[in-house]
Amino acid sequence: MCGIVGILGKHEVAPMLVEGLRRLEYRGYDSAGIATVNDGVLDRRRAVGKLVNLSDLLVHQPLAGKSGIGHTRWATHGGPSATNAHPHRTGPVAVVHNGIIENYKDLRAELAKAGIDAETETDTETVAMLTKLHIDQGMAPVDAAFATVERLEGAFALAFLFDGEGDLMVAARKGSPLAIGHGEGEMFVGSDAIALAPMTDQITYLEEGDRAVLTRTSLEIRDEAGRLVNRDQRTIRMDAARVDKAGHKHFMSKEIAEQPTVLAGALSAYLTQSGIALPDPGIDFTKVDRLTMVACGTAYYACFTAKYWFEQLAGLPVEVDIASEFRYREPPITPGTTALFVSQSGETADTLAALRYCAGKADSIVSVVNVPESSIARESDLALPIHAGVEIGVASTKAFTCQLTVLLLLALKAAQARGRLSDDRLTGILADLRALPGTFNAALDRDHVMKEVSQDLAKARDILFLGRGLMYPLALEGALKLKEISYIHAEAYASGELKHGPIALIDTSVPVVVMAPKDSLFEKTISNMQEVMARGGKVVLVTDAAGAAIAGDEAWKTIILPQVPEVLSPLLYALPAQLLAYHTAIAKGTDVDQPRNLAKSVTVE
């Protein structure tokens, strides 16, 4: 949700800033802009729409300079326009910002009295305006920026650049992530290490409340109380920051195809000869009475799937909640509760706030994350990486299946610790899991079938997804994927709930995707499928060979996946959820990797 990058470099920075923004574009793509200082003169270029528009603008109106900041925006305050695009500039100060300044109206009123009026509708502009006021009052640029940061309420990652200062940048972090990159006589800032990967692998993550003063050869960090502090400098694995489509047309299709590899990687990170190993301090499931799981979006559906696993396999009561609802309900967290947060980015504002609500109340805070350096990982007692690698497509795919993998391993560990799973059964499930990447590969071979079905789905105005048991959360994920990237209205229901209302929606124009492996609930799901067909509904049955043999002939279309044990079915049935959405979106001609109005990393409430 907004990406920022800053460079004090040795060479012209405009192309480097644009490359950094390209790697951050998944965070937002309403507009983009850069500002530089060239021979002491601050200037900027901004363009509405995708980053390519800024690149085009820079061809016609180049921007010279070896110091600069850049921004790619996901609009919060003020619509997408060139005026509202960052960097925001007031007098000698330019600022890029990720987050929300909650007290911007109060600040704006105060600044208006001092004769400084806003030119944009954004919250961010007040940061530049206030800093200018402080400079007008006689403060040096660094002090002026620090004094501004003191006044800000809300969440921010900020980078400041100043007219007349070619070797100075100020950065600050509260609630939104920010990384500093170290070069040889160069210094960088970025929303994440991925942005900085072409320039450096030496990264220092700012902590909550930190402010930093950068020159090309120095970095000074102060904490919220103003004390000078040391923060670790670490080397980032460059392969972890690779951002390319590897010959695929879209990041989403690359990430879908990568799943057998990353699933194998996630499994090998947790499986040993003797079973499942968690990093220290582990979890003593014999002492856990209740699990509270919280997440957003696709990660929420991973939690919802895991609820079935934890309850059925381990007999452990589980509550699952949407992060944006959780803390405002003020749920009591009783002793014996372990709180578990699932997040690809590890920076989702609502999930992080839910974690902070539970800190000090729950016995233990556990997170399942893709970014080990993220805020959610760092604020957890135990952070379990999912090893999915960088995920760029806004619609989450491989992160979902890797989240499911780690959550299933946790549920199995819980079942074993609580004496609900024999060693033999565990060994059997783990053997099936080890075989899953191969099975997933075989399922990927069915891509052409899903592509064909999608040509018809693309003609629909509304689509329903149905599932029972473990397939219910998968139906929800299928509907979410479809609406996210194809913009077709899609809803999911538990199959058994259909007759309590949604069945009224069924007519011959509504395709109904029924997720139904030949599992213990198959017959019941098929009865619900019959109810749909009896009302003219067009059923796309997603099943296995055994299921197709029973019900395939009656369906409008049938997609046959390889057979997997029931407990593993969510991992495999994620694939049709993803591919149906992908191919339908392609058929509709939408922007698959950057769907309208969405952003991948949602760092505002």
Q: Which of 41, 46, 53 is nearest to 78 (CA)?
A: 46
Q: Out of 2, 296, 303, 402, which one is annotated catalytic? A: 2
Question: Least distance from C-beta 367 to ligand G6P, angstroms?
Answer: 10
Smallest gap from Cβ 22 to ligand G6P, in A, equals: 19
Q: Is 398 in the site for ligand G6P (CB under 6 A)?
A: no
Which region, left, alpha or beta, applies to residue 419 given φ > 0 means left and ψ of -120 to 50 means alpha?
A: left
Would you give the binding string for ligand G6P spanning residues 344-383, x where CB under 6 A is met? xx--x--x--------------------------------
- CA gap 560, 547 in Å, rounded: 8
Tokens of 55: 């690149």
394 versus 415: smaller Cβ distance to ligand G6P: 394
Is the distance from CB of 25 to CB of 39 less than 8 angstroms? Answer: no
Q: Is 240 in the site for ligand G6P (CB under 6 A)?
A: no
Q: Nearest distance from residue 386's CB to ligand G6P, in Å?
A: 10
Contacts of 59 by beta carbon, 8 Å cutoff, 6+ apart: none
Catalytic status, residue 358: no
Contact region with ligand G6P (CB under 6 A), list: 5-13, 201-209, 342-350, 467-475: 342-350
Half-sphere exposure of 74 (CA within 13 A, CB side): 24
Given the complex with ligand G6P, which of 162 and 400 has the nearer CB atom?
400
* 250 makes contact with ligand G6P (CB under 6 A): no
Among 111, 600, 603, 604, binds ligand G6P (CB under 6 A): 600
Q: Match 């069945």 to its residue by tokens.
A: 503
Shortest distance, position 305 Cβ to ligand G6P, whole Å:
13
Whether residue 281 is preceded by a cis peptide bond, meaning omega within 30 degrees of 0, is yes
33 touches 71 (CB < 8 A): yes
Q: How far is the CB of 600 from ligand G6P (least distance, A)?
A: 5
Q: How many chain residues bind ligand G6P (CB under 6 A)?
A: 16
- Residue 529's contacts (CB-CB under 8 Å, 6 or more residues apart) are 466, 495, 512, 514, 516, 539, 541, 551, 554, 555
Contact 199, 16 (CB under 8 A): yes
Distance between CA atoms of 457 and 38, rounded to whole angstroms? 53
The residue among 123 and 391 lying less far from ligand G6P, judged by its C-beta, is 391
Q: Is 296 a catalytic residue?
A: no
CB of 48 to ligand G6P, least distance (A): 22
Q: Is 322 in the site for ligand G6P (CB under 6 A)?
A: no
Count of beta carbons in the 10 Å neighbourhood of residue 518: 21
Smaller CB separation from ligand G6P, 375 or 416: 375
At 561, the amino acid letter reads L
- The residue type found at 68 is G
Tell me which DSSP letter residue 175 carries: B
- Smallest distance from ligand G6P to CB 61, Å: 33
For ligand G6P, the closer CB: 349 or 560: 349
Say which of 66, 481, 538, 600 is annotated catalytic.
600
* Rounded Cα–Cα distance for residues 250 and 346 (Å): 24
Q: Are strands 538-544 and 511-515 parallel, antiparallel or unpaired?
A: parallel
Q: Minimal distance in Å, beta carbon 38 to ligand G6P? A: 37
- If one asks whether residue 36 binds ligand G6P (CB under 6 A), the answer comes out as no
Binding to ligand G6P (CB under 6 A): which residues in 428-457? none
In the bound state, the residue with its beta carbon closest to ligand G6P is 297
Residues 271-310, one symbol each (x = binds ligand G6P by CB under 6 A, - = not), give -------------------------xxxx-----------
From 188-196, 242-250, 341-349, 569-577, give the range in contact with ligand G6P by CB under 6 A. 341-349
Amino acid occupying residue 191: S
- CA-to-CA distance for 432 and 348, rounded, in angstroms? 33
How far is 562 from 478, CA to CA, in rounded Å?
18
DSSP assignment of 118-148 equals -SSS-STHHHHHHHHHHHHTT--HHHHHHHH
In the list 538, 602, 603, 604, the residue contacting ligand G6P (rule: CB under 6 A) is 602
Of 101 and 296, the one with the shorter C-beta distance to ligand G6P is 296
Question: Tokens at residue 153, please?
Answer: 């309420």
Active site residues: 2, 600
Residues of this chain that bind ligand G6P (CB under 6 A): 296-299, 343-345, 348, 351, 394-396, 598, 600-602
